[in-house]
Copies of this chain bind each other. A is one copy, B any other.
Amino acid sequence: MRKHILRCISCKKEFEPKPGLYYCEDCGYILGTLEVVYDYDSIQEEAVVKERNFDKKASMYQFEFLLPTKPKLTFDNDIGGTPLYKFDLFGLKDVQVKYDCSNPSSSYKDRASSIAINRALDEENDIAFCASTGNAASSLAMLNAQTEMDTYIFVPAAIPDGKRAQLEISGAKVFAIEGTYDEVYDFSLELGLKKGWYCRHAAINPYLLEGKKTGAFEIVIQNDFDVPDYVLVGVGDGTVVSSLYKGFWEFKEIGLTDKIPKIIGVQAEGISAIKEAFEKGKPYKPISIGGNTIADSISVGKPRDVIKACKYVEASDGYFISLTDEEILEAIVDLGKTTGIFAEPAGAVPYGGLKKLIYEEKITKSDTVCLVITGNGLKDVNAVQGSISRETLSFEEAMKRFEE
Bound Cα distance from A384 to B102, whole angstroms:
22
Cβ–Cβ contact A161 & B336, under 8 A: no
Which of A38-46, A72-80, A361-369 contacts its partner? Answer: A72-80
- Residue A157 is within 8 A (CB to CB) of chain B in the complex: yes
In the complex formed, the residue of B with least CB distance to A169 is B336
- Residue A399 is within 8 A (CB to CB) of chain B in the complex: yes
A327 to chain B, nearest CB (A): 16
A398 to chain B, nearest CB (A): 5
Cβ–Cβ contact B169 & A75, under 8 A: no
Cβ–Cβ < 8 Å partners of A389 in chain B: 168, 174
Which of A82-90, A265-273, A295-303, A309-317 contacts its partner? Answer: A82-90
Cβ–Cβ < 8 Å partners of A87 in chain B: 74, 146
Cβ–Cβ contact B398 & A177, under 8 A: yes
Which of A5-13, A19-27, A284-292, A338-346 contacts its partner? Answer: A338-346
Cβ–Cβ contact A166 & B106, under 8 A: no
Cβ–Cβ contact A340 & B146, under 8 A: yes
In the complex formed, the residue of B with least CB distance to A58 is B57
Q: Mark A44-62, 1 if CB is under 8 A from B, else 0.
A: 0000000000000110000
Q: Mark A245-258, 1 if CB is under 8 A from B, else 0.
A: 00000000000000
Bound Cα distance from A154 to B142, whole angstroms:
34
Interface size band for A: 35 or more
**A351-404 at interface with B (beta carbon < 8 Å):** 376-379, 381, 384-385, 387-389, 391-395, 398-399, 401-402
Bound Cα distance from A141 to B402, whole angstroms:
20
- Residue A228 is within 8 A (CB to CB) of chain B in the complex: no
Cβ–Cβ contact B340 & A377, under 8 A: no
A268 to chain B, nearest CB (A): 19
**A222-245 at interface with B (beta carbon < 8 Å):** none
Cβ–Cβ contact A385 & B165, under 8 A: yes
Q: List 15 A-B contacts (CB under 8 A).
A: A75-B83, A75-B85, A78-B102, A161-B385, A161-B388, A169-B332, A169-B336, A170-B337, A171-B340, A175-B393, A176-B391, A177-B392, A191-B399, A191-B402, A195-B402
Interface residues of A (CB under 8 A from B): 57-58, 74-75, 77-78, 81, 83, 85-87, 99, 101-104, 106, 138, 141-146, 154, 157, 161-162, 164-166, 168-171, 174-179, 183, 187, 191, 195, 332-333, 336-342, 376-379, 381, 384-385, 387-389, 391-395, 398-399, 401-402
